[in-house]
Amino acid sequence: MLTILGKFSKIQERFKIKTSEYNHGKRRAAGKIGENINCFLLNEKYMLFGGKIKMNQYDEALKKETAFLGQPRGVGTLSFVQLCSSFSSYAMNAVMIYYLYANAPAGLGFDKADAAQLISLYATVVGMTTIIGSYVCDRILGCRRSLLVARVTGFIGYTLLAFPLGVVGYAAAMGCMVFSSLFAGRCIETLIGKFYDENDGRRDSAFTISYVISNIGAAAPALAGVIAAKCGYHAAFALSAVLSFLGTVAYIATYKKFFGNIGLEPDEPGQPGNTVTEETETAMTDEPSGVVVEEAAIPQKRVSSKQRRLSLEDYRATYLQVPKIINRKPVFVSETVRDELDRVVRYLGGRGMSASGLIENLVRLHLDAYRDDIEQWRKL
């Protein structure tokens, strides 16, 4: 009898262990399913609103940085680019007229009067094309692209002057400079302003810092003159090319990391449908170091039918709850859209739900997601 009771006790103990393991397995499976459901719902949310929300969070985090003298790091890059640009321009202009009327092979051998006219003509054309460049920057390409094109073409122009290519090299270099101004305009100042909201107190100090740094380039004429006297005019132009190269490299190296999506799109695109898909997608993936952006990864997983049934409950709770509509107003949609809405409501909606209620829920969610952006866009 005792033997039988002992065996029964062991069987009962084993049964408890198996039951415990089974319940533990069920809990783990349920947790795994819940995790997958959350990932699926998060993926749906990302597809609806997540891309824009993530970009807004990324740009806002960049704007709040204080790594560069209390300003965002992008402002530091732009200040350095402006310093290199002003230094290169001042150095070139300081020795250009001497290069034009100096005898060959040191210079081009123009008359002093012709050299002065060429300098005046260049300054006039650049001043006029700067107006066009500002329009291109604001309305067509956007500040970021315009500045990139301007820096690269400017560097090419300075490089051409650094070699003894004669009148042809001079003409090509001046063409590059004019082409650069056709894109540059005042894009650096505009791009600096885009880092701040209207009520941000750092905005004025950012322009002051940038202006002071750029004026360091005023020392370029003295340095360029010494180099031209000792090493020749092409050596002075080579100095401009080196400074231009440094500014261009600094901008390209921080193009995505320090700027995100700021200044990427034009304020008022010249052509409808002018998008920036590649830069936007890359900027979304490159997060700045030291900036914490609260954003969960979007996993790509297959979703089982059971998970779809569970996500349907969340879909119904979000979109197919009967809203309380006060003071109804007519809203017109196409027949195709109306038929699709009726189909969704008929298959998935509950009692009292209608196509108007579905539209009400969709629009409310859309406005909640974009309300702040719409208010900012209204002020542009």
> Hey, what amino acid is at 182?
L
Contact 138, 266 (CB under 8 A): yes
pLDDT of 234 reads 93
- Nearest 5 degrees, angle CA 179-CA 195-CA 129? 20
User: Which run of H or of E encompasses 150?
Assistant: helix 143-161
Pair of tokens at residue 36? 């997958």
- Co-location of 58 and 112 in the same domain: no
Closest CA to 198 of 55, 348, 375: 375
Pair of tokens at residue 23? 């319940």
- Co-location of 76 and 37 in the same domain: no
pLDDT of 303 reads 46
294 occurs within a structural domain: no
Number of domains in the chain: 3
CA 51 to CA 207: how far, in whole Å?
Answer: 31
User: Which run of H or of E encompasses 101?
Assistant: helix 73-101
Helix pair angle (143-161, 233-253), 10° resolution: 160
1 occurs within a structural domain: no
Q: CB within 8 A of 337, min separation 6: which ones?
A: none
- Co-location of 165 and 258 in the same domain: yes
CA 194 to CA 189: how far, in whole Å?
Answer: 9
Closest CA to 122 of 157, 149, 151: 157
Domain closes at, from 18, 38, 63: 63
Contact 49, 208 (CB under 8 A): no
371 occurs within a structural domain: yes
Helix pair angle (220-231, 73-101), 10° resolution: 40
- Co-location of 45 and 118 in the same domain: no
Residue with tokens 């089982």: 304
DSSP letters spanning 204-249:
HHHHHHHHHHHGGGGGHHHHHHHHHHHH-HHHHHHHHHHHHHHHHH
C-alpha distances out from residue 331 to 87, 214, 322, Å:
59, 55, 18
Pair of tokens at residue 300? 């790509």
220 occurs within a structural domain: yes
Pair of tokens at residue 33? 């399913």
CA 155 to CA 178: how far, in whole Å?
Answer: 12
CA 26 to CA 244: how far, in whole Å?
Answer: 65
pLDDT of 113 reads 92
110 occurs within a structural domain: yes
Could you list the pLDDT tens digit for every one of the 380 residues in the chain? 445 445 545 555 554 544 454 454 544 544 444 444 344 333 433 334 444 445 567 778 888 888 888 999 999 999 999 999 999 999 999 999 999 988 888 889 899 999 999 999 999 998 898 888 888 888 888 888 989 999 999 999 999 999 999 999 999 999 999 999 888 888 888 889 888 887 888 888 988 998 898 888 888 888 999 999 999 999 999 999 999 999 999 999 998 888 888 888 887 554 443 444 444 444 444 444 444 444 444 444 444 444 445 577 777 777 777 787 777 778 788 888 888 888 887 878 877 788 888 888 888 888 888 888 888 887 77
Q: Would the CA dihedral through 177, 180, 185, 191 be positive or negative?
A: negative
- Co-location of 132 and 146 in the same domain: yes
269 occurs within a structural domain: yes
- Co-location of 44 and 98 in the same domain: no
- Co-location of 76 and 50 in the same domain: no
Helix pair angle (166-184, 143-161), 10° resolution: 170
pLDDT of 167 reads 93
Contact 263, 144 (CB under 8 A): yes
Q: In b/e form, how buried is each residue of 8-18, taking b as 16+ CB within 10 angstroms?
A: eeeeeeeeeee
- Co-location of 122 and 194 in the same domain: yes
CA 157 to CA 244: how far, in whole Å?
Answer: 10
- Co-location of 186 and 319 in the same domain: no
- Co-location of 16 and 85 in the same domain: no
Domain of residue 49, residue span: 8-63
144 occurs within a structural domain: yes
16 occurs within a structural domain: yes
- Co-location of 57 and 102 in the same domain: no
Domain closes at, from 27, 44, 63: 63
- Co-location of 112 and 207 in the same domain: yes
CA 162 to CA 323: how far, in whole Å?
Answer: 71
CA 37 to CA 18: how far, in whole Å?
Answer: 28
Domain closes at, from 63, 82, 108: 63
Contact 116, 216 (CB under 8 A): no
Pair of tokens at residue 301? 């997983």
Contact 157, 169 (CB under 8 A): no
Residue with tokens 């807004």: 56
Contact 90, 218 (CB under 8 A): yes
Q: What is the CATH number of the domain that holds 146?
A: 1.20.1250.20
User: What predicted TM-score, i.e. pTM, was given to this entire model?
Assistant: 0.57
